[in-house]
């Protein structure tokens, strides 16, 4: 069970923007309308931002080292291994 928790934690560090191609249309639209939409600041949102930043540090290190593909391959391999073991135990 600990392995499942660890894998879930590692998977949660992957951001959508880490794996999807850059949305050039969205970027162009934001530049056209220089005023960005921002949610009202609350203590909860501020804390969520801090936690998201801390949780993403590991994956950001992988990105900085140019090892995103390697990190994603490792996560995929661990997930497939876990899936196979669960299926085999049924």
Confidence bin at 71 (pLDDT 50/70/90): confident
Contacts of 63 (CB under 8 A, 6+ apart): 18
- Residue 21: inside a domain, yes or no? no
Query: Does 55 map to a domain?
Result: yes
The pLDDT tens digits for 24-70 are 887 777 777 765 556 567 776 666 666 666 555 555 565 556 677 78
Please check whether residue 50 lies inside any domain of the structure.
yes
* Cα–Cα distance measured from residue 31 to residue 28, given in angstroms and rounded to the nearest whole number: 5
Range of the domain at 56: 1-10+43-90
Give the CA count within 13 Å in the CB-facing half-sphere of 10.
Answer: 18
Confidence at residue 59, expressed as pLDDT on a 0 to 100 scale: 58
More confident of the two residues 77 and 72: 77
63/79: higher pLDDT:
79
Per the structure, how many domains does the chain have? 1
Determine, yes or no, domain membership for 67: yes
What distance in Å separates the CA atoms of residue 23 and residue 31, rounded to the nearest whole number? Answer: 13
Contact 27, 68 (CB under 8 A): no
- The answer to whether position 81 is within a domain reads yes
Q: Which is higher by pLDDT, 22 or 38?
A: 22
pTM over 0.75: no
């Amino acid at each position: 069970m600990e392995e499942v928790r660890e894998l879930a934690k590692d998977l949660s560090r992957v951001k959508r923007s880490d794996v999807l191609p850059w949305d050039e249309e969205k970027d162009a639209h934001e530049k056209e309308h220089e005023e960005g939409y921002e949610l009202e600041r609350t203590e909860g949102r501020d804390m969520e931002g801090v936690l998201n930043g801390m949780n993403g540090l590991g994956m950001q290190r992988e990105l900085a080292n140019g090892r995103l593909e390697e990190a994603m391959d490792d996560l995929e391999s661990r997930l497939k291994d876990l899936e196979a073991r669960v299926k085999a135990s049924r």
